[in-house]
Amino acid sequence: MSLDKKATAGVIGAGTMGTGIAQIASTFGHTVFIYDAYPGQLEKSKEGLEKILKRQVEKERMTRSEVSGILNRIHYVDHLTDFKKCDIVFEAIIEDLQAKKDQFARLEAIVPKNCTLATNTSSLSIASISSILKKPERFLGVHFFNPAPLMKLVEIIPGISTAESTVKAAKNIIDSWEKVTAVAKDTPGFIVNRVARPFYGEALRIYEEGIADAPTIDWAMKEIGGFKMGPFELMDLIGHDVNYKVTESVFEAFYYDPRFKPSFAQKRLVEAGRLGKKSSSGFYDYKNLENNSEPNTDKELGQKILNRILAMLINEAADAVYMNIATVQDVDLAMKYGVNYPKGLLEWCDDIGAREVLNTIQDLKKTYSEDRYRPNPMLKKSAQSGIKFHNAQR
């Protein structure tokens, strides 16, 4: 199975993500067919993409000829039968297991027998979706991040039945699109949505304990930690309905592991309809900015906040490697390019020392006596041996 620049791509779902994937594929010379069950969405997708590309011309980032080429290679179709010559198809519909299964069951009867089938799910089981297929070996997860044309990372997730040749073919074509690919095991949250949970969860715990308010925690993570956004700013931007739902689903999927326990503070915001920027209020008030308090810029407090959240992030990254979810290199690539962390978490651990990170977690464990603060065996091994994660051989 081989996918090259001549491969014809199909995209199911003409929302923001599907349109973005179509734009990428066409930009790199592929003929693209994009389908949506709602004809109005196809028109909206076409108009939106034309507007985006027009701005690129105005900013002199693209020529009119380049834009014409991209638009001419994309075909908006209202029947799946138009996918009969596709070499690879990306599904980007709603995050509903049955809807995705139904879509792939219809699609499999139409596409060529060697067509690669990919779902853009961010949280659903690849194995479960593939169970509907007669040839699950040609199916895998290919998780783009929003906005797809700008975000560098793509997680590639083989299912239990996925053939190695399918993984290789998908990785090759996406690498050719100048993306950064990270291969992850089919487990809840894959790499990014699993490893990133403490960025929100531990910040919320510090907030709920009254150690610091939201502006102070955000200040510490940005000014001392170098993160582009603080956790509360980011939750407000994502939307608490979305962020809380992801946390809840990961918590349930991991059999209620306390490491992923959701926050009552965030739950109450969702219940009150304070969803963040889109509702004008969340942890911050976006209608009346003067109502937001100033951060406490005490550097000692800020360093303690950063150390605690960072230690939990590193512990989760180590766990992802320990449980064979992904390699050290792919975990760090995923966090740098999927959520724009200042550096890879395990690279960060190597810089500050595993012993220091372990001490922080053990202090938390001693203070709270909660399983939430159990140190990962791989982190403990690195602390004891002094061998850095990027030098270790498993």
Looking at 45, 120, 130, 193, which residue is catalytic?
193
* Rounded Cα distance, 56 and 158, in Å: 35
Looking at 108, 155, 233, 316, which residue is catalytic?
155
* Rounded Cα distance, 83 and 71, in Å: 18
Looking at 120, 122, 125, 249, which residue is catalytic?
122
| Residue 385 appears among annotated catalytic residues | no
Structure tokens at 372: 């939430």
| Residue 143 appears among annotated catalytic residues | yes
Structure letter (DSSP) for residue 254: T
Contact 16, 34 (CB under 8 A): no
Q: Which amino acid is at 133?
A: L
| Strand partners of residue 9 | 32, 88
Contact 113, 141 (CB under 8 A): no
Looking at 45, 108, 130, 143, which residue is catalytic?
143
Q: Which amino acid is at 284?
A: Y
| Residue 155 appears among annotated catalytic residues | yes
* Rounded Cα distance, 87 and 113, in Å: 9
Give the H/E segment covering residue 118.
strand 116-119
| Residue 193 appears among annotated catalytic residues | yes
- Look at the block and give the residue holding tokens 């139904």: 102
Helix (H, G, I), strand (E, B) or coil at 263: coil
Structure letter (DSSP) for residue 370: -
State the catalytic residues. Answer: 122, 143, 155, 193
